[in-house]
Amino acid sequence: MEIPIIEAHNLTVLYGRKPAIWNVDFKLPEGQVIGIMGPNGSGKSTLLKAIMGVVKPTTGYTKLYDQELEKVRHKVSYVPQRQEIDWDFPASVWDVVSMGRFRVRGIFKRLTSEDNDIIKESLGKVNMLGFAKRQISQLSGGQQQRVFLARALAQQGELFLMDEPFAGVDVATEELIIDLLKDMKSNGKTLIIVHHDLHTAQSYFDHLVLMNTRLVACGKTSDVFTDQILTDTYGGKLTTIAKISQELENKEFPIRHR
Amino acid sequence: MNDFYIILTACLVAINCAIMGSFLVMRKMVMIGDAISHAVLPGIFFAYIFSGSTSSLPILAGAASSGILATIIIEWLTHKAKLQSDASIGISYTLLFAIGIILISKFGANADIDQQCVLYGELEYVPLWLEPIIGNFYLPKQTIILLIVSVVVLLAVIWGYKGLFITTFDENYSLSIGIGVGFWHYFLMSGVSLTTVVSFESVGAILVIAFLSGPPAIAYLLTGNFRKMLVLSCAFGILCSIIGYYLAKSLDVSVAGSISVVIGGVFAIVFTATTLQKSKIDVISN
């Protein structure tokens, strides 16, 4: 592997006494679409937060571009989980996306016309330019997610960490995000995405991190997306789900395929 | 002229509280104003003991530092001891307030600290202490202090608007782009402490809370833009002060109480109106 874009070493985060992630080590390559997967409560979101300095690791450390986060923060954009904020906040789509420029421009400086152009461009990329003045409480789930993506795009970073961008979005938004990810990848960006849906994992990601509080596997999707590793990650739950869907397929129930 | 002095004082308090309150309401921590206004008591006591005077400046400094101490304890209990934020507020301010009461009842028998006054204020007496400004123009001492604080609060909020806005809206994202969430928290808390301390001396703790929560809540119902919410809260604070004052005068009741009631009344009217409007829109869109 070339220089890893993210490296985690002995990373442990405790919430109270309960470990959210336990002794995780991995290295991730640059320029790829990387999925972080695991069952509910397996520490996927906490991992992103620890990388971004939102939660402090109890032990261990992470490095980005072989450096401390503080030195490369301008290259990294974080897309939090949509449910984490109050969407009834009195703010417009424009207000939220402009936050992506706050740190770049300096928190005490006024945004310039250059910033405004970047905000417009970012809104355009997620097809939300027509909604710039819309109050955020009037957006659908998919539109909220696009606003969050636009805010991250406005930072003009190289590395994107996204927490469940596909959760609860409509089909149009999902397709738009996929196209956007492809476009970003072809521009040399690295995308790290916490994801839920096993069905789409193989088609979305080049590289996978599978975890269940501990790291189960990390590697090329073709190498790690195996029955054995998935069973190790999801435990008994997966086999039940797999059995049910197999059963449904056998009886030709109409379930959605991708 | 007394009418003018009292209304001006109430309006200045209203403006300060509306601005600070708008941020507090959106951060779901408006009761921190209540906490600060009670927690100031030990600070006032020590300032009185050490300076030996009841002159405003040392008392204000003592009160403000005691208020900030309360916010530090609350922050510590919430984030380090993982206590619910409302429980943290309850524990810290009752403790500080009680310590203040004990200190005063034990050592401050001759101190001129009236607990009635702390709760209900002395808005009616504001015009008793006048200071000359220019020629024949006088302003009450309290009003002058409030005016200075208003200017400080306004400048601070304009200067730090983006920092306050982003950390209020999305704390995790702010941390991720390297914005000092702790700095902005204490920046706001210092403003709230200063505002509360100078305000409750003139209008009492109850009206301070009413001003911190009422006008911002009314404005929140009416707009989806935070800047407009700030302006509207100030406007409603001023409106309620004026109506409340004349209501109190005509009924011959407490001014602070009357303004609080008007704030409650205006909230009820606006709430009903916006709810009716919303259900109308729902009917049309269905």
Query: Which of left, alpha, beta for B102 (phi over 0: left; psi -120 to 50: alpha)?
Result: alpha
For β-strands A59-64 and A33-37, DSSP reports them as unpaired
Q: How many CA atoms lie within 13 A of A114 on its CB side?
A: 7
Cα–Cα dist A188/A183, whole Å: 9
Query: Using CB atoms, which residue from B159, B169, B170 is nearest to A108?
Result: B159
pLDDT of residue B218: 96
> What total of structural domains would you count in chain B?
1
Using a CB-CB distance cutoff of 8 angstroms, which residues of chain B are in contact with residue A102?
162, 166, 177, 179
- Enter the pTM of the model: 0.88
Using a CB-CB distance cutoff of 8 angstroms, which residues of chain A are in contact with residue B184?
none
Using a CB-CB distance cutoff of 8 angstroms, which residues of chain A are in contact with residue B182?
none
* Contact between B93 and B35 (Cβ < 8 Å): yes
pLDDT of residue B120: 63
**Architecture per CATH, A6-250:** 3-Layer(aba) Sandwich (3.40)
pLDDT category of residue A258 using cuts at 50, 70 and 90: very low
CA distance A156 to chain B (A): 12
CA distance B80 to chain A (A): 10
Query: Using CB atoms, which residue from B166, B178, B223 is nearest to A73?
Result: B178
Is A96–B166 a contact, with Cβ atoms under 8 angstroms apart?
A: no
Pair of tokens at residue B131: 């200071």
Using a CB-CB distance cutoff of 8 angstroms, which residues of chain B are in contact with residue A137?
224
Residue B119 lies inside a defined structural domain of this protein: no
> Please, what's the b/e burial string for B35-64 (b: 16 or more CB within 10 A of its CB; e: otherwise)?
bbbbbbbbbbbbbbeeeeeeeeebbbebbb
CB-based burial label for B108 (10 Å; 0-12, 13-18, 19+): middle
Interface size, chain A vs chain B, as Cβ–Cβ contacts under 8 Å: 75
Residue B128 lies inside a defined structural domain of this protein: no
**pLDDT above 70 for A240:** no
pLDDT digits (tens, 9 = 90+) for A78-120: 999 988 889 999 999 999 999 999 888 888 888 888 999 999 9
> For residue B196, which of B63, B11, B56 has the smallest C-alpha distance?
B63
pLDDT category of residue A160 using cuts at 50, 70 and 90: very high
Across the strands, what pairs with A67? A64
First and final C-alpha spacing in chain A? 32
pLDDT of residue B113: 58
> For residue A76, which of A175, A144, A161, A143 has the smallest C-alpha distance?
A161
Using a CB-CB distance cutoff of 8 angstroms, which residues of chain B are in contact with residue A46?
none
CA distance A225 to chain B (A): 30
Q: Identify which has the larger pLDDT, B122 or A7.
A: A7
CA distance B191 to chain A (A): 18
Is A54–B229 a contact, with Cβ atoms under 8 angstroms apart?
A: no
AA identity, residue B80 = K
pLDDT digits (tens, 9 = 90+) for A28-77: 988 899 999 988 888 889 999 999 988 888 899 898 988 888 888 889 99
Q: Which domain holds residue B42?
A: 2-112+133-285
Q: Which helix (H) or strand (E) holds A91?
A: none
Cα–Cα dist A47/A173, whole Å: 25
Q: Which residues of A touch B (CB under 8 A)?
A: 16, 49, 52-54, 70, 73, 76, 78, 80, 84-86, 89-92, 95-96, 99, 102-103, 107-108, 135-138, 151, 155
Cα–Cα dist B108/B47, whole Å: 12
Cα–Cα dist A153/A104, whole Å: 12
pLDDT of residue B250: 94
Q: Which residues contact A132 (CB under 8 A, 6 or more apart)?
A: A92, A93, A94, A97, A120, A123
B166-172 LR contacts (CB < 8 Å, sep 24+): B166/A99, B166/A102, B166/A107, B168/B23, B168/B26, B168/B27, B169/A85, B169/A89, B169/A91, B169/A96, B169/A99, B169/B26, B170/A80, B170/A84, B170/A85, B170/A99, B172/A49, B172/A54, B172/A78, B172/A80, B172/A84
Q: Which helix (H) or strand (E) holds A81?
A: none
CA distance B224 to chain A (A): 4
In this structure, what DSSP letter does residue A111 have? Answer: P
- pLDDT mean over A137-150: 92
Q: In a mutagenesis test of the B interface, which of A93, A102, A134, A164 is the best target, namely the one with the most B β-carbons within 10 Å?
A: A102
For each successive 10 residues of chain B (286 residues), what is the average pLDDT? Answer: 88 95 92 87 84 74 88 88 86 91 77 60 75 78 89 94 94 90 92 88 86 95 94 96 94 90 96 86 60
Is B178–A91 a contact, with Cβ atoms under 8 angstroms apart?
A: no
Q: Which ipTM value was assigned to this complex?
A: 0.85
pLDDT digits (tens, 9 = 90+) for A176-227: 999 999 999 999 999 999 998 888 888 889 999 999 888 888 888 888 888 7
pLDDT category of residue A131 using cuts at 50, 70 and 90: very high
Pair of tokens at residue A67: 């450096």
Is B26–A151 a contact, with Cβ atoms under 8 angstroms apart?
A: no
Using a CB-CB distance cutoff of 8 angstroms, which residues of chain A are in contact with residue B176?
52-54, 76, 78, 80
pLDDT of residue A121: 93
CA distance A65 to chain B (A): 16
CA distance A217 to chain B (A): 26
Is B177–A155 a contact, with Cβ atoms under 8 angstroms apart?
A: yes
pLDDT of residue A118: 93
Which CATH number covers residue B168? 1.10.3470.10
Using a CB-CB distance cutoff of 8 angstroms, which residues of chain B are in contact with residue A103?
177-179
Q: In a mutagenesis test of the A interface, which of B24, B28, B157, B177 is the best target, namely the one with the most A β-carbons within 10 Å?
A: B177
Residue B121 lies inside a defined structural domain of this protein: no
**pLDDT above 60 for A254:** no
